[in-house]
Structure 1
Amino acid sequence: MAHPLSHWEDGVAALPRETIVDVLEGRLREDILDGRHPAGSYLPPERTLADGYGVTRTTLKHAFGRLTQAGLLETRHGVGTRVRDYLRLGGADLLPMLVRHSPDWIGEVFEVRRGVGALISERAALRATDRQRDELRARLAAVRGAPDADAVQLADIEVHRALARATGNRVYVLLTNTLFNAYLPVRAALRAPFTEPQAAHERLEPVVDAVTAGDAAAARRAAEHYLTVTERIMLEGLA
């Protein structure tokens, strides 16, 4: 007979179970980010490390593989496994992991969000095509029509993705994606500005209005105001 948690029950999906590799990966990641294994240092020999964590060397190798892919470790055959200096060598793709590790990172993400978001709105006002302006209006309308806070938040995100596309610069699109990906570990705690669809729409509307009017200066000011206000509301929600 199948385990009852392997099926939908009362409309709720079963949560995936953590494997020993998942647990070891998490422990090693936390030990690296907490500085127990400093950047640039070599980890102890595999047998020693496996014994210390109470796992097999095969399990350890699987965890190493994941952390190498994540950018935290690098293995040199015949030399050993070293902790990468992720602050010097890492990329923005590490942000979701770092935010999950320490909420302190979210303040730095927000600082970049303000600067990049204001610049994107300014550039979008200068470069948006008629089709992109129509898309922005439609995306904004979807914010007001969203049925709940989660849907409002997602609709709001799509407005910002549309703004980035309207710049005509794909790097802005990727930066926008990166910043939103960084929110993922704490997204549920950042819903406060999106609990009322009409209010969320009214906060974002001046940005879209200025961009679609082609007023770059007004778009930048509106974006700076919007980003500052929503940041304050989200941080209050986190507190």
Structure 2
Amino acid sequence: MIRRYCCPASMLQPVRKQTLSDAVFEQLRDRIVHGELEAGSRLPAERELCELLQVNRGALREALKRLEQARLVRMHHGGATRILNYRDEAGLDLLPALLVDPEQPLNIQVAESVLEMRSALAPEMARLAAIRGGPQAAERLEAIVHDMHESRANLDSLHELAMEFWAEIARASNNIAYRLVSNTLRESYRQFRSLLTGILAREYRDHDSYAAIARAVRHADSVAAQNRAAALTRIGESGVASVLETLRLEGTAR
């Protein structure tokens, strides 16, 4: 029987010895999400992979275990490891890796998906925060808004404070699913901070909207919180959409 392996030797690169298991995991993960390792195909046997990657078997097995936990591969009894379709199997923790595009600053299609999720999520989190957050959440939000006003000339500080504001909104929503999604979005933003900080400057500087959301949480006004959160994220959405369109046109022109 002829075995079909999915990755020729030229596709894999030797791994730096100081970060063995992490580097193996990241290299194989990136090959999978960028389609270089096809869903349904098999990875070579462990011994061959160790030779291709120039790592020991312990580091390889640790990386394969992480890939299986991320639902990118399935390891079968007897040692066979098959690539899964990450679109059907993987979770939100894969988003930061999916945003990376070898051909341009970021993957436009994935970035648009993240933007749509953010616009849908933020108003609902704010609505629940107004219902469930109470005075303590309002105090924390008001303190962040105060710091944002004091830091209005410093975009880097505004970025960090805006991330903190939405993290507090997620906590105040008392919805664990929203909190976990919010964590993933925040990690995705962190990866492209230099690109996003300038794009979202208008949103970060809209002090009145942040203050209005905090005030709505203070007064348990769920409708006001939801509406102001929706209006605030639309500001950033328009800026990001414009940049993504520019990147798309640049990619088409190549």
Query: Same fold by TM-score, threshold 0.5 exceeded?
Result: yes
- Aligned equivalents of 2:17, 2:189: Cα separation in 1: 24
Are the aligned partners of 2:22 and 2:63 in contact in 1 as well (CA < 8 Å)? yes
Q: Aligned pair in 2 of structure 1 residues 20, 70: CA closer, same or farther (>3 Å)? A: same
Please name the residue that 2:196 is paired with. 190
Please name the residue that 2:5 is paired with. none
Q: Quick one: which amino acid aligns to residue 99 of structure 1?
A: L
Query: Is the counterpart of residue 166 in structure 1 residue 165 in structure 2?
Result: no
Q: TM-score, length-normalised on structure 1? A: 0.77
Query: Is the counterpart of residue 75 in structure 1 residue 81 in structure 2?
Result: no
Q: TM-score, length-normalised on structure 2? A: 0.73
Are the aligned partners of 1:125 and 1:213 in contact in 2 as well (CA < 8 Å)? yes
Please name the residue that 1:224 is paired with. 230
- Aligned equivalents of 1:85, 1:196: Cα separation in 2: 38
Q: CA deviation at 1:19?
A: 4.5
Q: CA deviation at 1:229?
A: 0.6
Aligned residue among 108, 111, 117 for 2:116: 111
Which SS does the other structure have where 2:75 is aligned? Answer: strand
Are the aligned partners of 1:74 and 1:82 in contact in 2 as well (CA < 8 Å)? yes
Paired residue total = 223
- Aligned equivalents of 1:149, 1:96: Cα separation in 2: 22
The answer for unaligned runs of 5 or more in structure 2 is: 1-15, 248-254
Are the aligned partners of 2:158 and 2:204 in contact in 1 as well (CA < 8 Å)? no
CA deviations over 1:129-151 (Å, ceiling 9, x no partner) = 12221221111112222373222
- Aligned equivalents of 1:198, 1:156: Cα separation in 2: 7
- 1:2-13 to 2 correspondences below 5 Å: none
Q: CA deviation at 1:120?
A: 1.0
Please name the residue that 1:157 is paired with. 163
Which SS does the other structure have where 1:40 is aligned? Answer: coil
- Aligned equivalents of 2:17, 2:150: Cα separation in 1: 36
Please name the residue that 2:217 is paired with. 211
Q: Quick one: which amino acid aligns to residue 165 of structure 2?
A: V
Which SS does the other structure have where 1:191 is aligned? Answer: helix
Q: Aligned pair in 2 of structure 1 residues 183, 71: CA closer, same or farther (>3 Å)? A: farther
What RMSD over aligned residues (CA atoms) do the two structures have, in Å? Answer: 3.0
Please name the residue that 2:28 is paired with. 28
Q: CA deviation at 1:66?
A: 4.2
Please name the residue that 1:55 is paired with. 54
Q: CA deviation at 1:187?
A: 2.1
The answer to which of 128-137 and 31-40 deviates more is: 31-40
The answer for unaligned runs of 5 or more in structure 1 is: 1-15
Are the aligned partners of 2:162 and 2:204 in contact in 1 as well (CA < 8 Å)? no
- 1:114-133 to 2 correspondences below 5 Å: 114-133=119-138
Please name the residue that 2:96 is paired with. 96
Q: CA deviation at 1:25?
A: 3.9
Q: CA deviation at 1:94?
A: 1.5
